[in-house]
Amino acid sequence: MNRRSLIASALGLVAGGAASRPAAAQPLADLTVTAAIRGSIDASEFGIWPDALDDQSRAFRRMLDKAAERDAPVFLPPGNYVVSNIRLPRNVRLAGIPGASRIIYSGDGYLFAAEDAATIDLSGLIFDGANRPLGAEAQALVEMRRVEAFTMDRCEVIGSGGSGVALERVSGRVERSTIAGAAAYGLYCVEAGQMQISGNSVRDCGEGGILVHRWQKAGDGSLVSGNRIERIGARSGGTGQYGNGINIFRAGNVIVSNNHIADCAFSAVRANSADNVQILGNQCLRSGETAIYSEFAFEGAVVSSNLVDGAANGISLVNLDQGGRLAACTGNVVRNLVDRPPYEPYFPDVTAAFGTGISVEADAALTGNVVEGAPRYGFLIGWGPFLRNVTATGNVVRASREGFAVSVVEGAGSVIIADNVIDGAERAVVGYRWLDAATGDLAAGDGGNFRHLRVEKNLVS
């Protein structure tokens, strides 16, 4: 090999070695921006400029229509864009820089809306309602009806004069987004097509946090998981219609899991007439009324591994009079309750039960729960004749006025209260006729024999 070929060979080895080394990793944020920009519509082509003083609504609509014709994404550079009444075309892919691309509502109607759309994809945008009132026909700052595939990811919806986001007959995802300062609800979702609502922050909303509703009772299949919900009010008052962190109404087969929910005027999680609901692993702090509720005409509820700290009632699985039945309540911790609701006692026979850890009525198993610091009852089992097929085994009650209150009204169904630990209660197990104690301490054998009730092997100290 001559000198020239030797040098060429060496250079080839060096080049080959350089080619085999991986390129330096590109920062994730840069990759995200690159993906958003690649092949996208240039907003400046349509006379849309960040931080322009004028309302840019007409140009904004024209840009989205043109993007839909090309089936191309639109990228909004950082800055403020003042618009209103933007009716989205059938296909929209609109992206910005999270925390920097701000779309500001100029008033007199709504901000974004779509009807009968195929794909709406909103990413990295701030939708700022500027606390301006919405029009009479507008429900939310961002409102979608009949959208086949909707995505809202890493967005912020703030300062809405109504609800933040309203979805009707929509399928898709709302994730990793912030909804704050809505005068009404944070996210209202009705007649959903298996929505996934996950990893969001919803806070400081006037009437409710995340709502999953249906007009008629039916399966829904939505997942509400890993959200942080804080400071939810009930500006319209009531006894639970408003003021809930997560509210499931008539929607079946919904899973509510691993949410952190604090400072709600009423419930952290309230499921009304919702079949097959699972409420799992939620952190519920400082609820104004009942922290976790499955009520009225439901069949099938699993409430497991939740922590409730601070509420007027801990967990209620009730309303056999309306068909509410079939529940498993396992492995929950309930503590630091108070004996008053956040409203006037309109119904003395109901409000007198506040200060209770866990309440059940029909076809229910209570196992492995811990209740501490209940001003009234650790467990309330049945209400008048509304009691059927309940077992309460392996639970712990401490520092509560009474361990178990159980209905002994004529017509009450079968109950077993066994193998529980009751520490520091004035009385361990007491039979009630509605509001009135009808027995002594049944755990001590004081109060008579009731054919529907078995109390045995409880450890009382």
| CA dihedral for 424, 426, 427, 433, sign (positive or negative) | negative
End-to-end CA distance of the chain: give it in Å, rounded: 96
Q: Average of pLDDT values for 20-48? A: 57
Q: What is the DSSP letter of 42?
A: E
In the block, tokens 């499931």 appear at 248
DSSP code string of 233-288: --TT--SSSS-EEEEEEEEES-EEES-EEEEESS-SEEEES-TTEEEES-EEES-S
Tell me what pLDDT residue 285 has: 98
Q: Any idea which of 43-52, 74-83, 146-155, 328-337 has the lowest mean pLDDT?
A: 43-52
Decide the pairing of beta strands 436-441 and 427-433: antiparallel
**Angle formed at CA 365 by CA 380 and CA 248, multiple of 5 degrees:** 80
406: β partners: 381, 431
Q: Which residues contact 347 (CB under 8 A, 6 or more apart)?
A: none
* Token code pair at residue 24: 């330096």
186-224 pLDDT tens trace: 999 999 999 999 999 999 999 999 999 999 999 999 999
Q: Which pLDDT tens digit goes with each residue over 214-267?
A: 999 999 999 999 999 999 999 999 999 999 999 999 999 999 999 999 999 999
User: Which amino acid belongs to residue 400?
Assistant: S
3-state secondary structure of 64: helix
CA distance 360 to 313: 12
The pLDDT score that the predictor gives to residue 314 is 98
Task: Please give the Cα distance from 245 to 237 (Å, whole number).
Answer: 15
Confidence check: pLDDT of 12 > 50: no
What is the reported pTM? 0.91
Amino acid occupying residue 424 = G
Query: How far apart are alpha carbons 75 and 97 in whole angstroms?
Result: 9
User: What integer pLDDT is reported at residue 432 of this predicted model?
Assistant: 96
> What value does the mean pLDDT take over residues 400-413?
97
Residues 228, 230, 234, 235, CA torsion sign: negative
The continuous run of DSSP H or E covering 171 comes out as strand 163-175
* Residue 384 to residue 247: CA distance in whole angstroms: 27
Amino acid 350: pLDDT = 61
Structure tokens belonging to residue 414? 């079968």
Query: Hey, what are 243's tokens?
Result: 């003021």
Q: What pLDDT is attached to residue 22?
A: 37
Alpha helices for 342-450 (secondary structure H)? 348-351
Q: Which of 260, 272, 264, 276 is nearest to 231 (CA)?
A: 264
- Copy the structure tokens of residue 55: 């309302």
pLDDT of residue 70: 92
Q: For residue 199, with 0-12 CB atoms within 10 Å meaning exposed, 13-18 middle and 19 or more buried, which class applies?
A: middle
Residue type, position 87, single letter = R
pLDDT tens per residue across span 283-310: 999 999 999 999 999 999 999 999 999 9
- pLDDT confidence of residue 262: 98
Query: What is residue 349's predicted lDDT score, i.e. its pLDDT?
Result: 63
* Domains of the chain: residue spans and CATH: 80-460 (2.160.20)
pLDDT at 229: 98
pLDDT at position 17 over 50? no
- Residues 5 and 21: their CA atoms lie apart, in Å, by 25
d(CA 89, CA 68): 7
Residue 24's contacts (CB-CB under 8 Å, 6 or more residues apart) are none
Task: Please count the other Cβ atoms lying within 10 Å of the Cβ belonging to residue 98.
Answer: 20
Percent of the chain with pLDDT over 70: 90
407 pLDDT more than 70: yes
* Alpha-carbon distances, residue 214 vs 46, 143, 191, 217, 354 (angstroms): 40, 17, 5, 6, 29
Read off the pLDDT of residues 49-72 as tens digits, 9 standing for 90 and up.
Answer: 999 999 999 999 999 999 999 999
Cβ atoms of 442 and 431 within 8 Å: the answer is: yes
CA–CA separation, 96 vs 99, rounded Å?
Answer: 9
> In this predicted structure, what is the pLDDT of residue 395?
98
Average pLDDT in the chain? 91
The alpha-helical segments, DSSP class H, found in 304-360 are: 348-351
Q: What is the pLDDT of residues 363-403, one digit of tens each?
A: 999 999 999 999 999 999 999 999 999 999 999 999 999 99
Per-residue pLDDT at 115: 98
Q: What per-residue confidence (pLDDT) applies to 7?
A: 37
